[in-house]
C-alpha cells in the first residue's frame, strides 16, 4: 500500500504555503505597470489557469474599478474579435509550465498586432516568459504531479498580489503576509475533515458554489474533483444553483459553498435549502463555517485559503477509489498542439 507522502500530489498540497510566500516576494520585488495606462486588462490561461483568470479578472475589476475579463487562451487565439478592443490592453498570461501552446500563440498574436503589454505569471521560466514585458516566476510552485494544486495556488497568490499592487492597496499586500501561516494552520487542522468527506463513497456527485471572484475558485476545485477522482462534479454561482441544477440534489450529493462576507446571508440560505433536500453541505469561510479560516485577512486578499482543504478532499477520494492522484486518467502535464 502506498503511503501518503509517496504521492507527489499530497506533498505538493501540504507544502504549498511556502510557495505562497515566494509569490508575495516576487510581486513585491517586481516593477509593474500602472493600472491607469490601460483601457482593458485580460487575464488568460488554459484549464486550471483559465479558472485562475476568471477569479483574477473579477478581483482586478473589484479593486481597481477598471474593466477586466478572464478569457481562455484558445478563445483569445481563435476568436480575438470577441474580446479585444481598439483600446490599450494589458494581457496577463498565466501558465504553470510556460509552454502551453494556445497561450503562447495567443500572446504572440497579441504582440504582433501591437495590442499592448504582456505580464506572464508562471512556475517555470520557459517560452512564454520570453514574450513578457513583466515576467513573474514562482519556482517553488513547480510540481511533479499532473493536476495543479501547489502551482495553481502559488500563481493565484501572485495574481491576487498583482491586483493589489495595481490598485495601490499596500494594506492588502501587508495583510497577505499572514497567508502562509494561515494556510499551514488550515491544512493541519482540517485535513481529517477533508479525508472524511473525500473517502465517503456514499457520495456520487459534488457541486461547488462560489460567487464574485470566488466563482473561478469554485471552478478550479471542481476540476480537481473531476481530474483526480473521475466523479460527477460541477461549479455554479450560488444563487444560480436554484435555477435547475438543484434538481440533481439528493442524499448522495455534496454541496460545497465558498462563503463570502458581503453576501453570506444569501449564500447560507442556498446551502440550508440544499441540506433540506438531503445534501451534505460543506461550507468554507472566515468564520461560522465547517472550515473556518480565522485569518484576520481582508476578504479580497485571502481567496487562496479556500483551496487546500478541498484539494485534500479530492486527493483522499482519489486514493480511496484506487486511482492515482498523481496521474489522472487521459491527462498530461502540458497540452502541446500543432497550431
Here the CATH number for the domain that contains residue 303 is: 3.40.50.10490
* Residues 145 and 196 occupy one common structural domain: no
Distance CA 43, CA 51 (A): 10
Q: How far is CA 331 from CA 28, 148, 156, in A?
A: 35, 12, 22
DSSP assignment letter at 332: -
Give per-residue pLDDT as tens, 237-271.
Answer: 999 999 999 999 999 999 999 999 999 999 999 99
Share of the chain above pLDDT 90, in %: 95
**C-alpha angle 8-10-13 in degrees, rounded to nearest 5:** 105
Q: Is the pLDDT of residue 80 over 70?
A: yes
Q: Print the domain residue range for 103.
A: 4-168
Q: From CA 119, how far away is CA 171, in angstroms rounded?
A: 23
Residue 96 to residue 125: CA distance in whole angstroms: 10
Residue 1 has pLDDT above 90, yes or no: no
Kindly state the average pLDDT of the residues 179-204: 98
What SS3 class is residue 27?
helix
How many domains does one find in the chain? 2
In this structure, are 164 and 192 located in the same domain? Answer: no
156 with 12, same domain: the answer is: yes
- Is residue 54 situated within a structural domain? yes
Q: Is 252 within 8 Å of 202 (Cβ atoms)?
A: yes
DSSP code of 208?
E
Radius of gyration of the chain (CA): 19
Q: What is the rounded distance in angstroms from the CA atom of residue 13 to the CA atom of residue 9?
A: 6
163 & 198 share domain: no
Q: What is the mean predicted confidence (pLDDT) over 156-168?
A: 98
Whether the Cβ atoms of residue 211 and residue 235 lie closer than 8 Å to each other: no
Query: 276 and 128: one domain?
Result: no
Domain end: 168, 192, 223, which one?
A: 168
**Same domain (yes/no): 158, 293:** no
Amino acid at each position: 500500500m502506498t503511503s501518503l507522502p509517496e504521492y507527489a500530489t499530497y506533498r505538493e498540497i501540504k507544502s504549498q504555503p511556502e510557495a505562497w510566500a515566494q509569490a508575495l516576494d516576487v510581486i513585491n520585488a517586481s516593477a509593474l505597470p500602472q493600472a491607469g495606462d490601460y483601457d482593458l486588462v485580460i487575464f488568460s490561461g488554459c484549464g486550471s489557469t483559465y479558472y485562475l483568470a476568471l477569479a483574477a479578472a473579477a478581483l482586478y475589476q473589484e479593486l481597481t474599478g477598471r474593466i477586466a475579463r478572464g478569457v481562455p487562451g484558445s478563445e483569445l487565439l481563435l476568436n480575438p474579435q470577441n474580446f479585444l478592443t481598439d483600446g490599450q490592453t494589458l494581457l496577463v498570461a498565466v501558465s504553470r509550465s510556460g509552454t502551453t501552446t494556445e497561450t503562447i500563440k495567443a500572446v504572440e498574436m497579441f504582440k504582433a498586432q501591437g495590442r499592448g503589454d504582456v505580464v506572464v505569471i508562471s512556475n517555470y521560466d520557459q517560452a512564454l516568459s520570453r514574450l513578457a514585458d513583466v515576467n513573474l516566476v514562482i519556482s517553488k510552485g513547480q510540481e511533479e504531479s499532473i493536476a495543479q494544486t501547489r502551482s495553481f495556488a502559488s500563481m493565484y497568490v501572485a495574481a491576487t498580489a498583482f491586483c493589489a499592487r495595481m490598485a495601490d492597496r499596500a494594506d492588502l499586500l501587508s495583510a497577505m503576509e499572514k497567508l502562509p501561516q494561515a494556510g499551514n494552520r488550515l491544512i493541519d487542522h482540517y485535513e481529517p475533515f477533508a479525508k472524511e468527506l473525500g473517502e465517503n463513497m456514499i457520495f456520487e456527485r459534488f457541486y461547488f458554489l462560489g460567487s464574485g471572484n470566488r466563482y473561478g475558485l469554485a471552478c478550479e476545485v471542481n476540476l480537481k474533483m473531476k481530474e483526480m477522482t473521475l466523479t460527477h462534479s460541477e461549479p455554479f454561482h450560488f444563487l444560480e444553483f436554484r435555477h435547475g441544477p438543484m434538481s440533481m440534489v439528493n442524499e448522495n450529493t455534496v454541496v460545497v459553498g465558498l462563503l463570502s462576507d458581503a453576501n453570506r446571508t444569501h449564500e447560507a440560505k442556498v446551502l440550508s435549502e440544499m441540506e433540506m433536500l438531503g445534501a451534505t453541505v460543506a461550507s468554507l469561510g472566515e468564520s461560522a463555517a465547517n472550515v473556518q479560516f480565522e485569518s484576520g485577512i481582508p476578504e479580497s486578499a485571502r481567496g487562496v485559503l479556500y483551496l487546500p482543504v478541498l484539494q485534500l478532499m479530492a486527493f483522499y477520494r482519489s486514493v480511496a477509489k484506487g486511482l492515482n492522484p498523481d496521474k489522472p486518467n487521459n491527462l498530461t502535464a502540458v497540452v502541446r498542439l500543432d497550431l
